[in-house]
Chains A and B, each alone.
Chain A
């Protein structure tokens, strides 16, 4: 199993009293509440945390893209990934992902990813996402065209990486007479492509297609849903006539480890609850603009509307398997069991979440690396050797 240390880089200095005057920390929470010195200090700290993840033995570090929100201060993951390309030496750098259909010129992403791949000596993992619903409000991009644009932008980027240019790209939404980017990716034919998603049949059918076989990354969901969608990928692959390898299946989850279960829960409580209830929370109208999901998917999600909009306490998040929290032994056992049961080969750990401060984040990372990741690796190596 490969371990990626994933970061959202939240604006942890958010004034919660101000925040509570608005329904959400996205889009409409005024940026007059932003403090530039806090912003600077947080970038310094967060980049340091990712650089240290390599020293702690993580296989990779991961960043992503969100706009006009305190949930994540990475409107451009390209900027952070570029820094990591120089500040790290050997680990993978995963952009999970770039919101490709929001762009009117996705070619710039093909260029920027190729640059980072080259500068890092072929260490880039390219994630493609559609962006969450609020970003369609912010960018003005039409959510009803989101799926079409995602597929076209993907085709354009992959062709830009793999076909000799110049060639013309003629799509419904994207037209370019000259596609001929320099540099080309360092990895050949192109960086591995990962598809982060909160679960959709359409996405899995597309990602698992034999022409693509992209790594599917299931993010921040209750455990049964994670299991169901990872199984769906395997079934879909089998339907296409091949066996999906474990490393094509990933799970992204916040994790907190401390000396004992009690200490872990007590220390994490405030920070995971603000992560879920203050940073992440979005009204349905922002989260799911019309056309963002197919009509069938939309009907399914509307059924869970009350659950999505409710406040969640730490116990609920832990019981649902949306948050792993406890002693190293507890978390190691859970991961060992879930890995055997679900069969994911990629684990994305969110070891800083919400307002979790630097000292607790550092200890969480240390304990996870030494007492969860290392023993899990040993356990898997032993099991593999026995086979």
Chain B
């Protein structure tokens, strides 16, 4: 049973909490709009993180404005978060990092990588935000209630049922409200994308793996295909039978895909 421990670092005047476990190459995981807390709810570690920590030194920071604490005053947009994580990598002295990022976290990773990839070894983007494909609507996640969220984010019935059965505690309710509020701040307008980002994706010069769910109802498959088209040499993999939360829907297949790509590009 893998145990994660928490560390706190002050970066850009903000005290950020990072949960860490495992030994091996550095793997930085940037979470999506749901925050990092749900991966550690009730002391249980999400299976996909436990599996990744078996072979890597995994770091899971909670983005500024997410989790139990208010965000910093300087937090206004996605660019602030990208620059923050560049400072974070430097402050923690992380090099040769395998950056694995999901959804909103994937957008942060893209913004970070077009600025500076010098501390990255590989980049894995899972069902990532950041682009808009004309004529292909994104799911309007801000309109979905709890039931619709489960229905649209997960294709694994057991995962869905488990999510719906776990009524949030009052503390989790507040964290959920804060996470949604910060997500809106970063991603309401333009909705989950930066219209200028595609101009600069050619700057990403590390091995890049684009991992997409077969039935992603938030960012449908054309978003993954478009991203692959913008990043030269990138690999697009599709996880069968999964929804947007593919790491929850099929943790084994997710981790196999992530670690294989990292292993293939480790040297």
Contacts and interface: CB of A to CB of B under 8 A. Distances in A.
Bound pair (A, B): yes
B198 interface: no
Contacts of A291: 181, 184-185, 188
Contact of B174 (A142, A144, A299): A299
A140 B138 CA distance: 14
Interface stretch (A85-93, A118-126, A281-289): A281-289
Interface stretch (B5-13, B16-24, B100-108, B140-148): B140-148
Contact of A284 (B145, B174, B183, B189): B145
A298 interface: yes
B174 A295 contact: yes
A283 B146 CA distance: 12
A144 B181 contact: yes
Interface of B: 142-145, 173-174, 177-178, 180-185, 188-189, 191
Contacts of B145: 283-285
A145 B75 CA distance: 12
A299 B177 contact: yes
Q: Is the interface of A mostly helix, strand, loop or mixed?
A: helix
A296 to B, nearest CB: 10
Nearest to A299: B174
A285 B145 CA distance: 7
B184 A298 contact: no
Contacts of A269: none
A103 interface: no
A326 B171 CA distance: 45
Given A140-B191, A142-B189, A144-B185, A295 B177 contact: yes
A290 B181 CA distance: 5
Interface of A: 136-137, 140-145, 283-286, 289-291, 295, 298-299, 302
B177 A142 contact: no
Q: Which of A137, A141, A142, A302: most chain B CB closer than 10 A?
A: A142
B184 A290 contact: yes
Q: Which of A144, A145, A289: most chain B CB closer than 10 A?
A: A144
A145 B189 CA distance: 11
Nearest to B140: A137
Contacts of B178: 295
Contacts of B142: 137, 285, 289-290
Nearest to A145: B185
A284 B143 CA distance: 9
Q: Is the interface of B mostly helix, strand, loop or mixed?
A: helix
Given A140-B188, A291-B188, 18 more contacts: A137-B142, A140-B191, A141-B189, A142-B184, A142-B189, A143-B184, A144-B182, A145-B185, A283-B143, A283-B145, A285-B143, A289-B188, A290-B188, A295-B174, A295-B177, A295-B178, A299-B174, A299-B177
Contacts of A284: 145
Across the A-B interface, give the 10 residue pairs with the lowest CB-CB distance, nearest first: A290-B180, A144-B185, A290-B184, A142-B188, A144-B184, A290-B181, A291-B181, A291-B184, A142-B189, A285-B143
Contacts of B144: 285
Nearest to B148: A285
Nearest to A286: B143
A166 B35 CA distance: 47
6 contacts: A137-B143, A285-B144, A290-B183, A290-B184, A291-B184, A302-B173
B225 to A, nearest CB: 26
B181 A299 contact: no
Q: Which of B143, B178, B184, B185: most chain A CB closer than 10 A?
A: B184
B73 to A, nearest CB: 12
Contacts of B180: 290
Nearest to B182: A144
A143 B188 contact: yes
Contacts of A285: 142-145
Nearest to A283: B145
Nearest to A136: B188
Contacts of A295: 174, 177-178, 181
A140 B143 contact: no
Contacts of B189: 140-142
A299 B184 contact: no
Contacts of A286: 143
A274 to B, nearest CB: 24
A289 B177 contact: no
Q: Which of B143, B144, B182, B188: most chain A CB closer than 10 A?
A: B188
Q: Which of B174, B177, B178: most chain A CB closer than 10 A?
A: B177
A144 B173 contact: no
A290 B188 CA distance: 9
Nearest to B188: A142
